[in-house]
């Protein structure tokens, strides 16, 4: 994503984003329009990357205190963007 000029960490909230670069602008526009309030603890992951992100989290030390929570799904069909 960084190679495509898309930040993995959203500058306003600190939320992390793992989506295809071509979906990044649509995602950030939607977040702005819906006025979704995000925090540094939020992670937005495209379904296709979910397993990879979960695997990466398993390798963080327990001192990082990263805990999974119930996931909220955004009703987004990328084909419509």
Domain boundaries, the chain: 2-60
**Pick from 23, 10, 18, 19: which is nearest to 57 by CA?**
18
pLDDT at 17: 92
pLDDT in tens, 16-59: 999 999 999 888 888 888 888 889 888 888 889 888 888 887 78
State how far Cα 51 lies from the chain centre: 13
pLDDT at 73: 55
- Torsion region of 14: left, alpha or beta (phi above 0 gives left; psi -120 to 50 gives alpha): left
Confidence label for 14 from pLDDT (cuts 50, 70 and 90): very high
Q: Taking a C-beta distance cutoff of 8 angstroms, is the pair 7, 17 a contact? A: yes
Residues 81 and 76: their CA atoms lie apart, in Å, by: 9
| Percent composition of the chain: helix, strand, coil (DSSP 3-state, to 5) | 40, 10, 50
């Amino acid at each position: 994503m960084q190679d495509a000029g898309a930040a993995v960490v959203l500058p306003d909230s600190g939320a992390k984003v793992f989506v295809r670069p071509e979906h990044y602008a649509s995602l950030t526009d939607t977040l702005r329009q819906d006025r979704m309030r995000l925090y540094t603890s939020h992670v937005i992951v495209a379904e296709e990357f979910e397993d990879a992100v979960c695997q990466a989290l398993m390798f963080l030390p327990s001192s990082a205190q990263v805990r999974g929570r119930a996931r909220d799904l955004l009703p987004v069909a990328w084909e419509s963007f």
